[in-house]
Copies of this chain bind each other. A is one copy, B any other.
């Protein structure tokens, strides 16, 4: 199960209604934060989510609204005496940004910061893809890998509930049961990967469509409602975002990076849903649960 926390859903400047960009994606004890606008650490506290559980931070690009909360978050981790290493992904300049701001504010992290290009463990993969913005900019995919699991329904139908038999089958071994030979391949099913994509800042972008094909949830820039000049600013409007979602055949679309000029976002949903109807505009401090599909 993956939870996506919409820590800050605004963009550019904060408003009383939306904070600057930050999204936390959590799978069991693994927390990854994507972008870290000013105010992120305090918003995380509002969720009562321990900031020390964050293992990895991915930054999309070096504009201030996406990155100016990072030095403060790292310094609070230091104040709380973090020892665990922290993984950082992002554009090349992110290393310099962290090191310079630490120097300028007389801070030395008591933990290691590891700059990495992608992340993978037994259960999770996190990787970047390029987007179309005014400067070097990336989106992120957070993937819970496909996993083999027992077909609980079929086992129930066949009257099999002995945990030792289940263990053998799961380990890929044949088992004798009621005079029959049970074959593991008959009881093991593949649970598909779950993928969440976050674009950061982007205008309508073919590279994004290629990269987010079929994801379960797409968080797409929708800075503007329907302004045609969104592209000139390296941003999208709600129609651009819905078009990408449709062409990439994603399962669900969240419109994010909403400009502070909008308070009511009902028009965003109305416009976008003409093109792609599984769409919503998350509020700050809300979250969304993605469970494995059957």
Chain B CB within 10 Å, residue with most, of A67, A80, A105, A106: A105
A200 CB to nearest B CB, Å: 14
- How would residues 30 to 47 of chain A score, 1 for a CB under 8 Å from any chain B CB and 0 otherwise? 000000011101100110
Write out the residue numbers on chain B whose beta carbons fall within 8 Å of the beta carbon of A1.
none
CB-nearest residue of chain B to A48? B16
Write out the residue numbers on chain B whose beta carbons fall within 8 Å of the beta carbon of A93.
104
- How would residues 173 to 214 of chain A score, 1 for a CB under 8 Å from any chain B CB and 0 otherwise? 000000000000000000000000000000000000000000
CB-nearest residue of chain B to A107? B64
Write out the residue numbers on chain B whose beta carbons fall within 8 Å of the beta carbon of A14.
41-42, 45, 76
Counting chain A residues whose Cβ lies within 8 A of the other chain, the interface size class is 35 or more
A76 touches B13 (CB 8 A): yes
Asked whether A79 is an interface residue with its Cβ less than 8 Å from the other chain, the reply is: yes
> Known contacts being A38-B41, A45-B14, is A68 close to B72, with CB within 8 Å?
yes
The CA of A13 and the CA of B67, in the complex, are separated in Å by: 18
- How would residues 8 to 21 of chain A score, 1 for a CB under 8 Å from any chain B CB and 0 otherwise? 00001111100110
Write out the residue numbers on chain B whose beta carbons fall within 8 Å of the beta carbon of A90.
none
Asked whether A247 is an interface residue with its Cβ less than 8 Å from the other chain, the reply is: no
A62 touches B16 (CB 8 A): no
Interface stretch of the complex, out of A94-102, A114-122, A140-148 = A94-102
Write out the residue numbers on chain B whose beta carbons fall within 8 Å of the beta carbon of A101.
64, 68, 100-101, 104
Write out the residue numbers on chain B whose beta carbons fall within 8 Å of the beta carbon of A100.
100-101, 104
Q: Which of B42, B69, B80, B97 is A19 in contact with, Cβ under 8 Å?
A: B42
Q: Which of B12, B39, B105 is A63 in contact with, Cβ under 8 Å?
A: B105
> Known contacts being A13-B79, A42-B19, A106-B135, is A68 close to B71, with CB within 8 Å?
yes
A139 CB to nearest B CB, Å: 19
Write out the residue numbers on chain B whose beta carbons fall within 8 Å of the beta carbon of A79.
12-13
Asked whether A65 is an interface residue with its Cβ less than 8 Å from the other chain, the reply is: yes
B106 touches A62 (CB 8 A): yes
B107 touches A69 (CB 8 A): no
Asked whether A75 is an interface residue with its Cβ less than 8 Å from the other chain, the reply is: yes
B106 touches A97 (CB 8 A): no
Write out the residue numbers on chain B whose beta carbons fall within 8 Å of the beta carbon of A97.
104-105
B67 touches A105 (CB 8 A): yes
The CA of A229 and the CA of B39, in the complex, are separated in Å by: 30
What are 24 sample pairs from A and B whose C-beta atoms fall under 8 A apart?
Answer: A13-B75, A13-B79, A15-B45, A19-B42, A37-B72, A38-B38, A38-B39, A38-B42, A38-B68, A38-B69, A62-B104, A62-B105, A62-B106, A63-B107, A64-B107, A67-B105, A68-B68, A68-B71, A68-B75, A68-B105, A93-B104, A100-B100, A101-B104, A106-B135
